[in-house]
Amino acid sequence: MAVEAAEVLRIAPALAERPLVHPAWVRISHWINAAAVVMMIMSGWQIYNASPLFGWGFLFPPGVTLGGWLAGALLWHFAAMWLFVVNGLVYVMLGFATGRFRKKLVPIHVGEAVSDVRAALTGRLTHDDLAVYNAVQRLLYVGVILAGVLVVLSGIAIWKPVQMQTLTALFGGYDAARYVHFFAMAVIAGFVVIHVVMAFVVPKSLRAMITGR
Ligand code: HEM
């Protein structure tokens, strides 16, 4: 017993001194974003089913959609949109203001990214130091942030095509903006699948996104 107590006393300072990998603002905005994205994608799929872009009938099985019918899905989509946009703006502004984006997400060297993708595909990519993102992570995180910006802008273009006609025109018109919105969603959905698998492959990264350390 005395030995166990001594051991706890010995490792306690080390645990407390574990470096903070993700500050609270990153963790809070990350999990709000995850919830908002899931709601936006599921309600978006219901909206899509009401007026499909591709001629394959029901692309998304009703069981994976949110809202029950078109009007219900639109309400979910717009409610989650405010959460996604406000939370995203806070994250992006703090990302720039605190220097986190500069320190963690850049630079991205093409050569490194290619060799890291190769290593990832052959199961040799390591993530020992949680404080440093590898080139694949940097690429994916910057990519998904840009896809998030694109999904919001194309969403505004199809939500308010009269008031925001310049933006809608920049996308090449209402119909083109719908395709952009769809493919930006597909990029985000693809990212989420890979990202969640990786989080469970490296559980300590998941723990750090919850506890910070
Ligand atoms: C339930 C779903 C999710 C889980 C389990 C999850 C898990 C994680 C984990 C563990 C990390 C830290 C990675 C590391 O330290 O190596 C992380 C970071 C990140 N995740 Fe997620 N995530 C989820 C959903 C999302 C979604 C939906 C998005 C965006 C569409 C997203 C975007 C990001 C970004 C941009 C980072 C880097 C944040 C930064 O360092 O500033 N995640 N996520």
Residues with CB under 6 A from ligand 1: 26, 30, 33-34, 37, 100, 104, 127, 130, 137, 141, 144-145, 188, 191-192, 195-196, 199, 205-206, 208-209
How large is the average pLDDT for residues 156-177?
A: 98
Query: Span 113-124, mean pLDDT?
Result: 90
Distance between CA atoms of 113 and 133, rounded to whole angstroms? 11
Q: DSSP letter string over 169-182?
A: HHTTSHHHHHHHHH
Whether 31 shows a pLDDT value over 80: the answer reads yes
Cα dist. 110→117, 119, 191 in Å?
Answer: 10, 14, 19
- For the segment 87-104, the average pLDDT, to the nearest whole number, is 98
pLDDT at residue 69 greater than cutoff 60: yes
The preferred substitution site among 30, 41, 197 for testing ligand 1, maximizing ligand atoms within 8 Å of CB, is 30
Q: Give the residue-averaged pLDDT of 28-51.
A: 97
For the chain, how many residues are written?
A: 213
Which pLDDT does position 59 carry in this prediction? 83
57: pLDDT confidence band, cut at 50, 70 and 90? low
| Range scoring the smallest mean pLDDT among 20-34, 52-66, 83-97, 171-185 | 52-66
What's the mean pLDDT in 121-136?
A: 90
Whether 142 shows a pLDDT value over 60: the answer reads yes
Residue 62, preceding peptide bond in cis (omega within 30° of 0): no
The identity of residue 139, as a single letter, is L
Is the pLDDT assigned to residue 116 strictly greater than 80? Answer: yes
Q: What mean pLDDT comes out for the span 152-170?
A: 98
